[in-house]
Amino acid sequence: MVNDDNPTDIINQIEQIKNDVFSGKLSLIDLKLSPIFQELKNTLNMVNLIKYSKPFEGACGLLSQKFEELQKLLNALQDDEIFTKFIEKNPSDELIASLLMKSWTKIFYLESMSLKFLNYSNNRYSQERKSIERIEHLQIQDHKGSFLLNVPEHEFTEKMQIYFDQISYLLPCKFEDLFAHERDQIKIYENFVYILHLIQLGIIKYNKEKNLVYQ
């Protein structure tokens, strides 16, 4: 019998049961929990309600664990051919997939937060860089006064005219349509320069509001 206002005994009793279950000495299925609940019921009153909440929580924890163990035992006692029996009923693929998904577990693993990855990163970043950049001086060859840069085959005006002949059949058109089929960035830049010059010379015109190029 416990002191009505002091639940220490019953707390100790519950702790002892927990310890025995944890250490494998006791199985909750073999243990009757009703005496504990009876004791709690007999001693609980309006005055000691708060003090008894902890042992009540502990007893409910044991009860819940007992139910879990009982469920596992019942499952083990049932026919272990349940999967085969289920398949023999010819369930649809969708039904099987939904059942499987209800039991699908996602592993908690974040590579970027793992100690292994942190160690790896630490080793990589703390390594001294072994390769030292070497400065190699350019070899200057004597070209006997000749210019090093290639001289373009055509004059700028000629090239601009060739470009104008190429685009004239497109006009009038949107500004971006002039570059629609060109992928080479250098070429786009070169054509853009021609367009600027053509506009400046008044050969073609550009309407900013309508984004239109015309003659």
Partner 1 sequence: MNEISILMYLLSQRGSHHEFGATREEIIDRLNPGKKAENFVFNNVMTKLSNYIDPLGFQINYNPLNSHWYLSIKNEITEFFGANPFNEHPSLAATLFCTLTCCLKNRGKTSIQEIKKIRKKKNLISDLKALETKGYISINSKNRSVELTPLIGYQIDIERLYNNIVLMMKDEIK
Residue ranges binding partner 1 (CB under 8 A): 19, 21-24, 71-72, 75, 78, 81-88, 92-94, 96-97, 99-109, 111, 114-116
Q: Whose Cβ is closer to partner 1: residue 87's or residue 196's?
A: 87
- 185-193: Cβ within 8 A, 24+ apart: 191/163
Q: Whose Cβ is closer to partner 1: residue 116's or residue 129's?
A: 116
The minimum distance between CB 12 and partner 1, in angstroms, equals 16
Q: Whose Cβ is closer to partner 1: residue 84's or residue 139's?
A: 84
Q: Whose Cβ is closer to partner 1: residue 1's or residue 115's?
A: 115
The minimum distance between CB 13 and partner 1, in angstroms, equals 17
The minimum distance between CB 41 and partner 1, in angstroms, equals 26
3 state SS of 58: helix
Q: Whose Cβ is closer to partner 1: residue 92's or residue 146's?
A: 92
Q: Which residues contact 212 (CB under 8 A, 6 or more apart)?
A: 172, 173, 174, 175, 206
Distances (CA, A) of 17 to 29, 60, 68, 71, 87: 12, 13, 16, 20, 42
Distances (CA, A) of 123 to 111, 115, 119, 129, 144: 16, 12, 6, 12, 54
The minimum distance between CB 126 and partner 1, in angstroms, equals 22
The minimum distance between CB 173 and partner 1, in angstroms, equals 44
Query: Which amino acid, residue 139?
Result: Q
The minimum distance between CB 127 and partner 1, in angstroms, equals 23
- 25-33: Cβ within 8 A, 24+ apart: 27/69, 28/62, 28/65, 28/66, 28/69, 29/66, 29/69, 29/70, 29/73, 31/66, 33/59, 33/62, 33/63, 33/66
Q: Whose Cβ is closer to partner 1: residue 58's or residue 194's?
A: 58
